[in-house]
Structures are given as structure tokens and as C-alpha cells.
Structure 1
């Protein structure tokens, strides 16, 4: 059984082929394997995993073995890493999941690949964790690990105040009793940080900042969130009028507080903004709105920041946190190209990030060209069509399309769906495979989605819309994690294109320039336009850091997003390259999931479990 690399790309792999017979006792197989692993780990210096792992096995670890996110591939790498780390980490006390959906079972994953899988629990020197094992049968009949996942879920002695550990809430039970004030009096002082400095400054109060703040405070870390908008949630409210989330409700819960059962499947932007505002109040998050960062300097000597912020009333304050978490949106600054003749163009041209509503531009009867065919480009094109404009989408290269009513729900089958397993368990399972393996499995999923969506995709092809299923045909998974875009989750625009109500113009070499009332394309053709919307995407998140915090900070940070040599996302949710500075972003689900791991990393630094600077510097070398 082998997992091979193809095409010279370390993140394009071929899945193994395994025997197809179903074992009679998957629980016994999983238990025996886990017992044998514990026996090996008990002797850290002489670990020998040859009978437990294939030569092409994988181990993905989140903080259990290293205060970072690591993907190890091949028996040699896994064995060497465990020999180095097990002595300090002390993985032990393994226990299989004994109830629910993720108890040991045999899965026919895709054609030609089956495995025994199970969730399991463990302890480390630092805390407790949850993992997943996936065992495949070798030619000699032995069951060995194809993919193992370990994730630290809690630190010993740092229990979150959940369930039976919830605070009592009476004034007498609060530190200092009534002499220190009632709940509301304490909250006012806490929000203003009248008596102390925040340990963590979170910049941005969107889904990233709010999830982050909730996780940090539950670990006992004081946290201040600052946001430039007037209200929490305005980062969604102020987007274009017709925006709704493209992910379903069960996938997009916030940490600790799921949406109610009557919540719509896809959330309108203003409703989500109101939920964010309510979430901040319910979770007692310390948020300063109408506040922007003016400058920031870091002292290596003290391990502390000096951050000057300007508040809405014009006052300034210098904060001295030990950590800054950058939650300004993982896409960074808008990528706004300019073209010859653009200043002489007699129509309107703007970037997609500035779009609000086509009705504001009196669009009826006007010729509108939307440059770009990702999610925003499609939504904006549909908005203009519904306001009576003649719309053309300018497409330079192919786009992956998946429908919200079919493919998206197929992606979440068995996990984040109505009446599915608990969200916390789904989160573990969904992140438990290394990204290269996820991508290889996505090739099969993408084919299934395309069969279910054949009518939509064929209609797009007939209309001249070029489809691209991504490198290796891995579809949306690879597109999102490697490029952060290049796809459209269809909520109605595809039918308008297929019905020729929205035109498509393909221009592989792009735009040469602007005329007075038209775009000049590289192939020599002209495209008449009264309004041009540049739905051309965003730069790396590091560009926002450079713009706001300056070169000194940005130069020490790594670029963000895409995969590093191991197959983990660069700098996101993990060491950034700059001590005490962390990038955090992603969709609602990823912000819920990875806020736990980033909060644990920061808590580990603050408790002395992790030498944060050493691990920060390591990230720049990957």
C-alpha cells in the first residue's frame, strides 16, 4: 500500500488502494492498534513504529506534540518526530470513543479505499486531547495507521467555566464581594480597562475577533477587541445589500453559542451583524468600537507591545498587551488594478469591495461589466441584473462552481448538518486529515457534486462560461486553502448565465485599457460599459499589517495562507514569524474551530508551557 506524490507537487497525492473486505471486529482492531502505540510511546528513545505505520503514513498534530500545527508524512518522519518530542509531550492514557457516531467502524471511503476509523482521547504532560485514527490493511493482513490526528483540547489546571464549572453569579461570590461592585459596575470597569492592561489585543470584531475573544476570556486571559466600525457587526452590515452567507447554519455556529433551531439555513448579512452584536454582549466581550490602531511597537526585551489607539471621541490611549491578534479579514487589502486610459473613462469604475447596491447607481438600462467570476463577482452581477442593467461578466480563466442547494450540503453529509453529531465532534473530524489527503479525497467528492449538478454545469458551458475544477480536480477545498478564491457557490447567478440573461466574455489575456465608454480587451475587441466593477480579489493579509503597523512589524511576519512545505497553512492560526503577533481569520466555521487552538497557544506562552518566541521564529524557516 503506497501513497505517492504526483506531478512534482508535494501536495498532490495518490490515495492508497486497500482490500475491500469488511473486518468483523473493527473495535478490536482499533483497540489493539492503540494499545500497541501506547506501548511504543512508553519508551520515547527507542520508539519503533514499523509494525504500526505504513511507509507512506500521515500524522497531523495540533499542539499535542509541539506548540504549533504540524503535518508529518512517512514512517521515518513520524518516528523521528516522536522520538524527539514524546519525552516532553508524554502522550499517554489512550481511550477509544465509546459512544456516538465516531466509535470504531469500518468505512468504505471511496472506491478502492477503506479503513477502520475511530475517535480517541488521550493525555499529555500539558493537557488532554482528542484524536482520530484511520487504519488501513496492508497486503499481509496487518492493520496499520494511514492517518493519525492528535489535537490538544484543554490544559491541565485551566478548566473553562462551562457547565458544572459555570460561575455562581451572585455579587457575594465574585472576587472582593460587594465592595468591588455589582456585575454591571464591574463590567464597566472591565470594558474600559480602568484597572489593568489587556494581556491580548484583538484587532477586528468580525467572526475571527469575536470567537477569539470568547476563547481567550474563557481561558482566563484578559482581552480587548478594537474595531473601526460604529457597531459590532458592521463589517457584515456594510457589505452589499443582497449578501447572504454561502455556508449553511449548522456549519457556521460561533464558539459556545450555536444558532437557535429556527435560524435560517443561509444568514442574511444584517441578521448576522445583529447576531455578532448580541454575541459580544452575551459573551461579555470587551469591545471598543470606533477605535483604530494608530501605531504599534514591540519590545523584544520585555515581550510587550506599545499600541496607540484612537477612539471615536478623538482621544488616544496607549495599550501594553503581550499579544496582538490580527483579525482584519484573511484576504487583506483589496487588489485594485489600474489600466491605461482609466482616468479618461466617462463611466463609473470601482472595486467590488466598495459595492453596496446596484439601485444606488440607477442601473436600469446601463451596460455593466463585472471583471472577475468569484463569489463577489457573481453576486454583484446578479444584483445589477435584478436592477435592470445589461450585465456582462469578464472571465479571464476558469472558475469552479458548486451549488448551495446541492453540492454544499453534500460536502457536509454526515458532519455539520441538521440532526448530525455534536458540533465539537464534527469539528475534530473535519480537521483531522492532513490537507493533501483532504484534497485527494475531494477529487472524488468533486466528481460526485458535478454529477448531481450536471444540469447547472452544462448550462454554464453552453453559455460560454469556462469551468475549472482546480489542480488535480480537487475543487473548492484546494481553491480555498491555497488561493483563498477562484470559485463560486451558486445562489442563483448560474441560471441567469445559462439563460443568457447575464452575458459572459472570455478574455484569457485580460484588459489592455479603457476607452471613453468601453473596455479594450487584449484580443483587440471592445466591450461597451457604463459601469465597471473590478471584482479582482484581495492581497495577502500581510499587506494590511504593513499598511497599519509599518514595515518593521510586517518584515518580521510571514506571508499568510497557502500551504507550507509540510502541508499546513502558512502563519494562520499559528506562529506568524513575529513574537507576540498572531494572524487569525477564515470563514465562520474555521474561526470557531481554530480560535480554540490559537487561544491555547497564547495561554501556553502566558503560563510558561511554550517559549513563544522560539516557536514564532521557527515559522519563518518553514
Structure 2
């Protein structure tokens, strides 16, 4: 395994401790009785208004993850003292009231699980109310040395704001009537879409999964929302990618807000099919989208707390809008990271970034020597594409180790029992999947990573034998940490590993990478030379803040924070939460994270609009 530099939040991994358990007894406790007894005691402590009494129901080394229920932010509190310090000044105003445990037969009803050999948890979903809203949480109780069950991990997540509930279910819109008086649905829809005599409350830049999910959530909360996108059709951000692209996440994990994929949808979605789904979703959700439109400038007025956004529309006309909320939803990565090299002008072949790759055809590939720089998802897919198109040779240049797991083996193990055909309803799975603090998920992920490694041993051994360096993540934590901290550094194998293990795609390793380009190829830092007619730079993307700078300018970009990786508490920086600039938000991630976190971001934006938050 490659060593990786320590990160500020690594301390949380070493701080994940298991409470000292009581001596084992012959019979296991009734999980519902244990959970209900704890919930009653927890309610008494909260009602007392004395946060110091939390020591009677929490372990000293406990964790509380909160999504928008206790503050209009995403927080992770580690240790009893941190929890007490956070709750003491807000306990009476928040007025947190636990209500009930999940009923028997429901998903995540009280049960006993054993995440580690030395640790048992009594766990359950529960419901709660606060002074401003209603939500669901997840409790995990561990037994102390004296036999008392106390909270080891607690999660609280807001579902709705009182008085500002979503227009769903019993609160759905009426839809109109058959009267000839007034405008019909189509006419009203056109007026809304054009914003002729109105302004959107929220303006979203980007009509991918991030923008679409968030717009649907905001409109369900009664907030007028407009998306602008430079593409000609909704879904073109996927259609325009390389021809062979298929999603690496299974459909059971990737549902959209309010509208799950049909039960006969393929497990992995081809890019053009996904683009068509986005287009249909936008229509069915009645989302307002201006296509072939671009943002020319945006300025914020602190006095009016509104933006002035100049937009160039498809017909060339210009429109200035004044939303109170501006959301950048162009993807969790920023601009392509395109390195340059000495001697690049002397190179006789073709060099381009992986973001510009469309397809390797026989006409463009046959007889060509291809070098792909980078060994993440895109690098593997592009290498496979060139090999299958008949390239004379395909070589991948690897600088550092890459985590590899097979979609049909480890990929299924990642979601087994949660996001698969046997799993619970998606909303319950979402609560469960987010209920552990990220550093704890990383720590516990070591066991799953080890199990996947054992199942995929043949493939991994073949890769190592072929010269490919496999990296299992920091401290063996695997895929999830790589994604949440780096946004890359892994490959979900959908075919290229076999090409590497069989020698059809070659791997060259050089930690320092390319020293220079020469007329007929690439000189590596270690002195070796690789013949190449085409060099593809699958070198990733910059921080999303670079997109903010490009689209909105330096004034806004200088006030926001960098996006992704974890803060000191263990939550993601910038994404789905206050960005550092008033009334400006980042929205991004894969389909599943966009579904989950669009709710929390929409609730934060609604809270600002309703005067409940000044974030």
C-alpha cells in the first residue's frame, strides 16, 4: 500500500474508540426495550434544559452527526464535551423532542448489530420534532462497563420545516379545473417558465443531476426557481461525454428526488439513456430551465441581499435577474487540470485532456501508439476504448497507486442490503447511509475493503503482476474515503483490468511523471522513453472553486471556501452548506448524493427565505 500524507482530519480515525463493554450475559437484551428506555431518558434530559446531564445518556467518546436539525448547517460533534458545549446555548430554543422508534416490520426497527467483534450496537431509526421542524434520526447505543446502554453514535436529520412543508402527498397541488375562465395549465406553465413579470427566488447554474434535484426540491418547498445551462438540451452534459460511458453506480443507488428509476431500468445506465432521463425528469417535474444560456456576470448587494445576474439567452437577448439565492451546480469538480510539459511544441502527435475525449474509432486509432496519463475511472475507460478500436498499442502511465474494485463483485458489496433489490425503501436507506460520521465510516470501511480485497484477489494479483500499483486507500479505508476527500484515485472495473492483466494494455509506473515531450513520444522523469502518437491527459479536475471564478468572477471566488475534502469536524467543505459567501451555495456529487443532499440544501435555502436563518 502506498503511504499517503497525514491529513488534518486523520486524527478522527485514531479517535474512533469502542466503549468498555459490560461482562457478557447468557441472554441478549431486547433491542426495543433497550432503545425505548434510552429514548425516554434522553427525552428527560432534553426537557430539563441542562445539557450537562447528557453524560447520563452519552458515552464520553460519543459522536453526534446533525444535518440541519440543530443548526442550519451540516455538523459532526465528537466527544461528550463537544456535544455539551454545542447544545448548552441552544438547547431551550431548539426544543428537541424525540418521538418514537421505528415500528416492528419497518426498515431499521430496533435491532442488535455487531460492527466489530468487540462492539455491539442497539440501533434504530427514530422520529423527532424541534421548535422549527420535524425529522428522523438514527441511534446506536453501546453498553458501558456498568451495563448501562448509552449513545455511542447519534444522527439527527431535518425532513421538513413547520409551516413550510413540501407540496407532496396530501399537500400536493390541486392541478386546476375544467373551467374556461382564466389560463389553463399550459398557459400558466409558459408564463412561469418565461418569468415575464416575475423574478426567481433561486437561480441555479447547471442542469445536471445536481441542479435538477435541487430545483425539484426547492419548487416543492414553494420557492420560484430557474436553472440556466449552456447546453442545447437537458442531459447534454452526459450525452456529450465519450461514446462508451456507462454509469459506474448501480441504478438502485442512483435514484432521483421524487421520481425513482423504473424497476426494469438497466443496472448500469448508458450515458445517452441517462441524458434522456434527465430531459424527461425536467419536463415531468415542471422545472424552469433556460437552455443555450450563459451567465455573463453576477454581483451581490449586501444591503438588499439579492444578486444581479446578467444572462445571455439562446436568442442572443440579455436579461438581468435579481434572485436572492444563487447556486453553482456545475459538478463537484472544477475546471480540467491540464498540465503542460517542456518540449510540448515539438511533439508531432496529438495531446488532449480526457474531458475532450469523445470516441476512439478505427480510423483514429488503428496503427497509433496511445499513452493515457492517469489511472482513474476516465483513464481506464479511455484506454479500453482505444484498445477496442484497434490501436497498435495502449499504455497507461501511473504515478501513484489506484484503488480498484470490480463493479460485479466489490461494487455490489458496497451497497449490499442497503441499495440493492433486497434493500429497504430508498428514503430509509438514505437515513441509514448518512447516519455515521464520515471519519467513522472511513474507519469501519477498512473491514469492507479487506473483504472486497479477498473476493477480488485474483484480479488484484493479476494487476500487481502486470506492474499496476494497487492502493487500498489511507489505512485501508477503500473507495469511500478516496471519493469524499479526493474525488478520485480509484477505478470501478468494468472491463479494463482484464486488458491490463492479460498484457493487452500496458502499464508504466513513474512517480515523478513526465519530464518532457519529444517529437515521437514522452520522456519520463526516470529517463525512460515511451513512443506515442496520441497522449491523453486523464489528469483530473481542479477544485470546484475554479468554476466559480470562471463563471462568477474573482470577487465572488475570493469569498468562498474550497470545495470537497473534510473540515476539522469531519464534514465536507463548502458543498451543500454555507459556502463563505452570503446567499451563494455549491451543489454537486454523484446521483445518490445529489438526491440525498439536495433536501438538506433546499431546507437551508428555505430557512433563509423564511427568515429562520441568516447563513
Equivalent residue number for residue 414 of structure 2: 411
Deviations 1:362-418 (CA, angstroms, capped at 9, x unpaired): 101210000000000000000000001110000000000011001111111111111
Q: Quick one: which of 161, 165, 168 aligns to 1:162?
A: 168
Q: Deviations over 1:298-345 (max 9, x none)?
A: 000000000001111111100100001100111110000000011111
Contact kept, 8 Å, 2:248 with 2:407, in 1: the verdict is yes
Could you tell me whether the CA contact under 8 Å between 2:19 and 2:59 is conserved in 1? no
Q: Given the alignment of the two structures, is residue 565 of structure 1 paired with residue 571 of structure 2, yes or no?
A: no
1:83 to 81, 88, 91: 88
CA distance in 2, matches of 1:53, 1:17: 11
8 Å contact 1:399–1:469 — kept in the other structure?
Answer: yes
Q: Secondary structure at the match of 1:71?
A: strand
1:78 aligned counterpart, secondary structure: helix
Shift of 1:82: 1.3
Shift of 1:116: 0.6
> Where does residue 306 of structure 1 map in the other structure?
308
SS in 2 for 1:107: strand
Name the counterpart of 1:187: 189
Q: Match for residue 10 of structure 1? A: 11
What's the CA shift for 1:111?
2.6
> Secondary structure of 1:297's match?
strand
Q: Deviations over 1:163-210 (max 9, x none)?
A: 2222222236xxxx7544000000111111112100000000000000
More deviation, 182-191/356-365: 356-365
> 1:17, 1:361 → 2: CA distance?
64
What is the distance in 1 between the residues matched to 2:251 and 2:334? Answer: 26
Task: Render the CA deviation track for 1:494-545: whole Å, top value 9, x for unaligned.
Answer: 0110011100000111110100011000000100000000000000000011
Q: How far does residue 17 in structure 1 lie from its aligned partner after superposition?
A: 6.3
Aligned to 2:385: 383
Measured in 2, the distance between the counterparts of 1:484 and 1:259 equals 25
Cα contact 1:47–1:82 (8 A) shared by 2: no
Query: Is there any run of 5+ residues in structure 1 with no aligned partner, and where?
Result: 613-622
Residue 213 (structure 1) shift: 0.5
What's the TM-score, normalizing by structure 2? 0.96
The yes-or-no answer on 1:610 pairing with 2:605 is no
SS in 2 for 1:12: helix
Distance 1:348 1:179 in 2: 64
**Is 1:485 equivalent to 2:491 in the alignment?**
no
Distance 1:8 1:255, change over 3 A: closer
Of 416-425 and 581-590, deviating more is 416-425
Mapped contact 1:171–1:183 kept (Cα < 8 A): no
Give the one of 92, 101, 105 matched to 2:107: 101
Residues 361, 377 of structure 1: alpha-carbon distance in 2 compared, 3 angstrom cutoff: farther
Contact 2:125 2:136 in 1 (8 A): yes
The one of 138, 144, 155 aligned to 1:138: 144
Whether the aligned pair in 1 keeps the contact of 2:141 and 2:149 (CA below 8 Å) is yes
Distance 1:241 1:44 in 2: 60
1:425 equivalent among 425, 428, 451: 428
> Which residue of 266, 289, 295 corresponds with 1:264?
266
Q: How does 1:455-604 map to 2 (within 5 A)?
A: 455-604=458-607
Equivalent position of 2:325 in the other structure: 323
Match of 1:373 among 369, 372, 375: 375
Q: Which residue of 2 aligns with 1:198?
A: 200
* Structure-1 separation of matches of 2:233 and 2:362: 23
Is 1:26 aligned to 2:26, yes or no?
Answer: no
Equivalence for 2:399: 396
Partner of 2:252: 250
CA distance in 1, matches of 2:41, 2:212: 42
Contact kept, 8 Å, 2:124 with 2:140, in 1: the verdict is: yes
TM superposition shift of 1:548 = 1.4
**Counterpart in the other structure of 1:345:** 347
CA distance in 2, matches of 1:361, 1:217: 48
Q: Which residue of 1 aligns with 2:123?
A: 117
Instruction: For 1:7 and 1:334, locate their aligned partners in 2 and report how far apart those are by CA, in whole Å.
Output: 26
CA shift, 1:11, in A, is: 3.3
What is the match of residue 617 of structure 1?
A: none
Q: CA shift at 1:470, angstroms?
A: 1.1
Separation (CA, whole Å) in 2 of partners of 1:416 and 1:206: 22
Pick the aligned partner of 2:231 from 229, 232, 241: 229
Distance 1:107 1:8 in 2: 27
Q: Is the 8 A contact 2:399 2:510 kept in 1?
A: yes
